[in-house]
A and B are shown apart, each in its own frame.
Chain A
Amino acid sequence: MELIKNDALSLWKESLRYVLSKGEDYKDNDGRVCREVFNFVMTLSEDATNIEGPIDLMRKSKIWIYPSKEELSSIMFKINQAPIYEYTYGGRIFNFSGQFDQVNEFIVPLLKKDFSSRRAVMSIYNPLQDSDINNRNTPGIIYLHFRIKENKLWVTAHIRSNDLFFGWPANLYQLYELQNSIAKELKIEKGKLTVISDSAHIFLDDQDRINEVVGVLND
């Protein structure tokens, strides 16, 4: 199943609706009922708009506190990982395993050298650290694949476990910011941004809140 939209808010709305209506229920380890769709694909087309819309909506809530755009962006771009976090995307991207800047030492030089390369893969998941049965905090985004098509930077991100309600607005914003930054480096336009979610899910105890948000989105 693939949904394609140019408006981030609409894409989010459609995705939530799809999972609500077509997903299958199961109970997770914490006893929460989870409704999920396997291998769900969401694509934001190249003329993307309203990227911050879903975050702005989430931050309006009086029930929960949603991370600020500043913190979300900092998590994606800050090289030095704060010790309180088990991992950060920035640390994995710019300082993988404490020794490798995947953007500036690999992705950018590779795509500058070879526009048609299919090797520009950035790994976020680190098996040496994450493949530990006692580690419950492992990254949701597993890898990113950067490709240049029609002189635009296309990005595909693979998310192993994607909380569509709480996580997706942040994930999309972070991926979009990264796409933007690398496209600038390559001096090309942004292309499509595709997110493949192995498990695109929502928790049913959030259903009222989701209905509320979807309701808002319906306006």
Chain B
Amino acid sequence: MHPTESRILQLLAKNPEREFSTSDLVKRVFLEEYDEIQRYIHNEPDDPELKKVGKRKKARLHRKLLYHLNKLEEEKILVISKVEGKGEKFFNLNSKQLSEGNKKNKEVKTMIDSVSHLNDTSVLLAGIEEFEEKKIIKRFDEKEWTNKINSFIIRSNYCNSVKDMYYLLLDIYPVFNDVVGLYGFEHLIDRESILELNNFIKKIDLDTKDYNKHINLIIDISKVQDSVKLTDFIATFCETNPERIFIMFRANTKSFNNHIRFMRQMIKYFSENRIKINMQNLDINKAPYLVGRAGAYTMPIGDWVEFEDYFLEKTVGVCFSETSLYVDIYRYFKQGLPLSGLRDFLIRASKALLLATTAQRKKSDILFSNLNKLNGKYQSKFFLYSFNYIRLWNYDVDMHNEGSQKSDEITIEEFITILSSIVEEIDEFCKSEETVFKSCGIPIRFRIALSSAFRRFDKGFLSERAYKKININHISDFNSDEIIKFMRKRESLLRVFKGGDRIRFFRSPSFTPDEIVDEFVYVMNSFNIPFFTYDFRERKGEVTLDNFM
């Protein structure tokens, strides 16, 4: 690409919301030459000859620029956004055209993306820089913080085959930085041969490793037409044992009981291969759950029902999360910061998220052009229900108190009450910002959800785990005081963690599938827990089977 064209495009990419006139572009693209011309035109002795030279040079510079502008316009990389005065043209990037996949466009897009990335490393955390420096807060995927969305689902019936789905995924990997859920994956299981499905899993296993992304296959047990085939698929899936592909089973107690035979088989395959089982209880929440590198995602049931009723079949899917921040609660208290300051800190974090979404919005036509194409005229609906996340890590203040670090001596119950009132305040802030922006003719959706963080997203940043993991030996463990207390605590937290949470049980190794089936049924019937995970990895070096640090 010609250096002049490259400079023009970089300038436009840095300011995607602005339209540039040719006069503006001349000044900025040919900075040095333009300065020199100005010296001629405004020369000190006011020599008319020098002025003439300056004007000639200026006209030449305009012609030079226009040559490249016209070329870029002919190639449809730029568009003329308006013409003013004596025919002065204003230019903009042609985001629609750039989504077309020819070689030149790809070159331009890569260049534009790299410029956008540079922009985004600039500080958007106004007001919370000090917490960032103290490693209390961090942006999820710092480099791409506002360039990519975190998570969304796409409906599997958008594609007729796993081959189509594979190509669709290839198109959308650049758009997200954590997880995509294939909603209703049973549709593709019913349609495709085991061989095709197996090939698909193997291919996306490689891709997700290469791109460091996660894929969730969301399977509703009650909608499976051929449970024998589903069992065969599970067997091959477990053989492949993909690192970044998780299956999310959805069932209510009735459909679970109707598929006991499948469940037994599935538990056998998963536990033998030490693969976690993710189970969503549809009796409690119908909105899908996703699990990525960052943590769990979901949306409020009311939003999901509305989306399902009006837009599910009109869009390719729906966005769950745009941007995320992490807060290390243990480190917050360890640094001697007061509990009374937590509210102000989280509100400031919310303001940072608003600024981040503003930055993301400005570029959304370019950044998400692949998705926009898929959603057609319903593209705004894709973003209509999304949240921004504040994920908390090491928030079990009971455990802080047991250690050397005191968290103002409060109990977890008191902490949850405080968090709950902070969430109310954050909700108020979001609501009033939506009102402010809508009143100004900028109809945005801006919501924030709290959730828990997974440490695996950034072990180098997050403090060592300071909370108990729960281990199950036998169904009777669910009746122990400790586990009942733990479950009630998690139920209370779920009222605060609107963005979804995952409750993980480590299962000690000696069991039969029937025992696990009974435990699942027990959990689904006894606790108000919409989503839980059974982890069959052996926990080494631990003497008791109850609690672990």
- Residues of chain A at the chain B interface (Cβ within 8 Å): 64-67, 70-72, 74-89, 94, 104, 134, 137, 139-141, 163, 166-167, 170-171, 174, 181, 184-185, 203
Q: How far is the CA of A181 from the CA of B83 in the complex (A)?
A: 11
Residue of A nearest to B354 (CB): A65
- Chain A residues whose C-beta falls within 8 Å of the C-beta of B92 in the assembled complex: 78-80
Contact B433 A64 (CB under 8 A): yes
Contact with A along B416-434 (1 / 0, CB 8 A): 0000000000000100110
Residue of A nearest to B386 (CB): A84
- Chain B residues whose C-beta falls within 8 Å of the C-beta of A139 in the assembled complex: 441
Decide if B17 is an interface residue (CB 8 Å cutoff): yes
Known: A82-B365, A89-B441. A65 touches B17 (CB 8 A): no
Contact with A along B82-95 (1 / 0, CB 8 A): 11110000001001
**Residue from A66, A70, A134 in contact with B436 in the complex, judged by beta carbons closer than 8 Å:** A66
Q: How far is the CA of A171 from the CA of B380 in the complex (A)?
A: 23
Nearest Cβ on chain A to B192's Cβ, whole angstroms: 31
**Residue from B375, B384, B435, B440 in contact with A67 in the complex, judged by beta carbons closer than 8 Å:** B440
- Chain A residues whose C-beta falls within 8 Å of the C-beta of B372 in the assembled complex: 83
The B interface is mostly helix, strand or loop, or mixed, namely helix
Contact with A along B368-391 (1 / 0, CB 8 A): 100110010001101110000000
Contact B439 A140 (CB under 8 A): yes
Residue of B nearest to A30 (CB): B431
Which of A80, A83, A88, A166: most chain B CB closer than 10 A?
A83
Q: How far is the CA of A88 from the CA of B17 in the complex (A)?
A: 13
Q: How far is the CA of A104 from the CA of B368 in the complex (A)?
A: 29
Nearest Cβ on chain A to B112's Cβ, whole angstroms: 15
Beyond A104-B82, A139-B441, A163-B439, 11 extra complex contacts between A and B, CB < 8 Å: A74-B17, A76-B441, A82-B362, A83-B368, A85-B361, A87-B443, A134-B310, A137-B438, A141-B441, A171-B440, A185-B84
Of residues 317 through 375 on chain B, the ones whose CB sits less than 8 Å from some CB of chain A are 351, 354-355, 358, 360-362, 364-365, 368, 371-372, 375
Nearest Cβ on chain A to B189's Cβ, whole angstroms: 32
Q: How far is the CA of A85 from the CA of B363 in the complex (A)?
A: 12
Contact A71 B17 (CB under 8 A): yes
Decide if B442 is an interface residue (CB 8 Å cutoff): yes
Q: How far is the CA of A75 from the CA of B19 in the complex (A)?
A: 12
Contact B17 A170 (CB under 8 A): no
- Chain B residues whose C-beta falls within 8 Å of the C-beta of A137 in the assembled complex: 438, 443
Contact with A along B526-540 (1 / 0, CB 8 A): 000000000000000
Residue of A nearest to B431 (CB): A30
Decide if B444 is an interface residue (CB 8 Å cutoff): yes
- Chain B residues whose C-beta falls within 8 Å of the C-beta of A82 in the assembled complex: 361-362, 364-365
Q: How far is the CA of A85 from the CA of B434 in the complex (A)?
A: 12
- Chain B residues whose C-beta falls within 8 Å of the C-beta of A89 in the assembled complex: 441
Contact with A along B16-52 (1 / 0, CB 8 A): 0111000000000000000000000000000000000
Residue of A nearest to B93 (CB): A80
Contact A83 B379 (CB under 8 A): yes
Contact A170 B439 (CB under 8 A): yes
Nearest Cβ on chain A to B302's Cβ, whole angstroms: 14
**Residue from B18, B371, B443 in contact with A74 in the complex, judged by beta carbons closer than 8 Å:** B18
Provide a sorted-by-A list of 7 A–B residue pairs whose CB atoms are within 8 angstroms. Answer: A67-B358, A77-B19, A78-B92, A83-B372, A86-B380, A139-B441, A166-B439
Contact B95 A171 (CB under 8 A): no
Known: A64-B433, A78-B17, A83-B375. A171 touches B441 (CB 8 A): yes
Decide if B548 is an interface residue (CB 8 Å cutoff): no
- Chain B residues whose C-beta falls within 8 Å of the C-beta of A203 in the assembled complex: 435
Decide if B81 is an interface residue (CB 8 Å cutoff): yes
Known: A83-B365, A83-B375. A167 touches B380 (CB 8 A): no
Known: A66-B436, A83-B368. A140 touches B351 (CB 8 A): no
- Chain A residues whose C-beta falls within 8 Å of the C-beta of B361 in the assembled complex: 82, 84-85
Decide if B437 is an interface residue (CB 8 Å cutoff): yes
Which of A79, A80, A174: most chain B CB closer than 10 A?
A80
Contact B310 A85 (CB under 8 A): no
Q: How far is the CA of A85 from the CA of B381 in the complex (A)?
A: 9
Contact A184 B433 (CB under 8 A): no
Known: A89-B441, A163-B435, A171-B441. A83 touches B355 (CB 8 A): no
Contact A75 B442 (CB under 8 A): yes
Q: How far is the CA of A14 from the CA of B400 in the complex (A)?
A: 55
Which of B17, B379, B383, B441: most chain A CB closer than 10 A?
B441
- Chain A residues whose C-beta falls within 8 Å of the C-beta of B437 in the assembled complex: 67
Contact with A along B118-141 (1 / 0, CB 8 A): 000000000000000000000000
Nearest Cβ on chain A to B8's Cβ, whole angstroms: 18
Closest 9 CB pairs of A and B: A167-B439, A170-B440, A163-B439, A83-B379, A74-B17, A166-B439, A137-B443, A83-B372, A82-B364
Contact B444 A84 (CB under 8 A): yes
**Residue from B18, B358, B380, B382 in contact with A85 in the complex, judged by beta carbons closer than 8 Å:** B380
Q: How far is the CA of A70 from the CA of B15 in the complex (A)?
A: 11
Known: A74-B18, A82-B365, A83-B375. A104 touches B441 (CB 8 A): no
Contact B441 A75 (CB under 8 A): yes
Q: How far is the CA of A139 from the CA of B442 in the complex (A)?
A: 9
